[in-house]
Structure 1
């Protein structure tokens, strides 16, 4: 591109010197600055414009056209067009810089919202990872959070539909709603419907948030799934923890059913977003989540297990993943803490076996 614009101007000037028929007018040299302003900076476009003016003067001298009315008119058109090309390049560069700054701010905001966690509370170890897309991709809407409440340790993993600043605003609103309501709402399904009511007024007609909620208690975990990929329980075998019946995502008047599963010491729960489960290779084959999760989570360290799982996904696609990926790994370490209040157990279906 650096050579193309001045090269085109030089070629056109040379063609104008061929004494065949009517010589090419010098105004056609404006093609060079026009090409430059589309892809290059204002400084490079100005250099190309000056180069075309020099070529025009040289052509006018060699063809003995300096001072003629036709040459003067075309020369004015060439100079004015070059100035407009420089102005357009400057605006284009400024717009790209503004978009780049906005993307950096949005990315920093997303990183601040999704800070990595590695904590242990009430017999549960929690380790998280958030992997952003390749550089230059737009901000996505994956989210997670873990809070201690009077009803036990609660967790949310979700995914906002869409990308960009709108998705980032919805992500912040969802996390704020979870932190507010998780302390005040005894039932986990009630927490989901309360968040649904909080988020719905601020969402567009086609916007929603998939989410899975977890509440840990001695020997078990309560789950509520609102249209999100089901978590994995990894122990002696790997099992998808499907909800008793599908539920709509948040923002669409969801009415999920809670359920619970046993969680013995040493067993792990893997929560994730669809950036992992829908990762595809060059032939469109999805990432084989269950066998790869069983292999990666054989590592004793939660942190190493999550890093190994993400590396497997990248190896499967053969390139960096183009969607956000959130990974949250929870491991039961033992029975600690008091049982939840009876009111918090209302509406929960019996625990699922191994």
Structure 2
């Protein structure tokens, strides 16, 4: 508005810049509050009226048109501001509900349990979303610390609903059941009542006790073991079971696999959104080559470094949810 006023005063009224005073209220309506938009609208009307009088256009067609234009745009700016504020309040309410849903579905895991230090990372493929089809949970049971990391087939609200079913069943079964096989059977029964159309959930269950990690794999990518001496290997379960929800395809009961887990070792669970993330040249993310980022003394800082490196590798929003859970065995 100041620039328009300067041009009008220096170039004269013949240039016809006076109606551009309305740009002030128009831009104010895009980002300002009601009070700010109203104040700028009043200022625009006053400035337009002053310049009309100064130019001798007050009462003439050009001056009246400029005043009417500024008044109309000011009114439109106030209406737009009121609508924008209402939408912002609704969005804040929805985000608040999403925060509560996230805390219920993906509860914060304990930072430390017995000899374990724990860190998690979750990146949703849906813009502005906090939760999706990937899931994780840590439960302290009488038989040790039990963990699940899984990935629901599909995306959207249906995947979130299925993830809620799996997590609810795991939280109960992980505390009650005597071993991982019966925990997996409970999850299979829960999904059998929920899933349809051959939907499934890949998952890996783990039980940590003493210096051993017992794993039960349901068609999920194998966890990555980073040994205290720097060695890196994927822990491949010899006989993985079919994904949860497809238990009828199994010919026999799934068998747990015991993996030594010594002090100083780290066990990284993840979903395929991590290892299948591709850069612009269509190269997969080399997770095993990035384990050097896990050397930070703080496990959460170390896992955040992996996440930042993953995002930098992709160079664009992720196409799939990416969840990671890091278990670090304290050094005695």
How far the C-alpha of 1:69 sits from its partner, in A, is: 6.4
The count of corresponding residues between Structure 1 and Structure 2 is 310
Asked if the contact 2:165–2:190 (Cα under 8 Å) also holds between the matched residues in 1, the reply is no
How far the C-alpha of 1:276 sits from its partner, in A, is: 4.6
CA 1:169/1:246 → structure 2, altered by over 3 Å: closer, same or farther? closer
Matched, 1:48 2:40: yes
Q: Which runs of 5+ in 2 are unaligned?
A: none
Asked if the contact 1:119–1:127 (Cα under 8 Å) also holds between the matched residues in 2, the reply is yes
Higher helix proportion, which one?
Answer: 2
Aligned to 1:327: 325
CA 1:304/1:217 → structure 2, altered by over 3 Å: closer, same or farther? closer
CA 1:280/1:85 → structure 2, altered by over 3 Å: closer, same or farther? same
Matched, 1:138 2:124: no
Aligned to 2:287: 289
Aligned-partner Cα distance in 1 for 2:140–2:74? 64
Counterparts of 1:1-354 in structure 2 under 5 Å? Answer: 6=1, 10=5, 17-19=12-14, 23=16, 26=19, 29-68=21-60, 71-72=63-64, 75-107=67-99, 109-111=101-103, 113-117=106-110, 118-120=112-114, 125-131=115-121, 137-141=128-132, 142-147=134-139, 154-159=146-151, 162=155, 171-182=163-174, 183=176, 187-200=182-195, 210-215=202-207, 221-226=214-219, 228-235=220-227, 237-242=231-236, 244=239, 247-248=242-243, 258-264=254-260, 266=262, 268-274=266-272, 276-277=274-275, 286-293=284-291, 295=292, 304-305=298-299, 307-314=301-308, 325-329=323-327, 331=329
Normalised TM-score (structure 2): 0.68
Aligned-partner Cα distance in 1 for 2:248–2:75? 58
Q: Give the RMSD, CA atoms, in angstroms.
A: 4.6
Aligned to 1:341: none
Q: Which runs of 5+ in 1 are unaligned?
A: 1-5, 334-354
**Residue deviations 1:121-177 (CA, integer Å, cap 9, x gap):** xxxx4432233559x9431334322335688753211345547x8766654443223
Aligned-partner Cα distance in 2 for 1:137–1:318? 19
CA 1:275/1:10 → structure 2, altered by over 3 Å: closer, same or farther? farther
Normalised TM-score (structure 1): 0.65
Asked if the contact 1:268–1:332 (Cα under 8 Å) also holds between the matched residues in 2, the reply is no
Q: Secondary structure at the match of 1:187?
A: helix
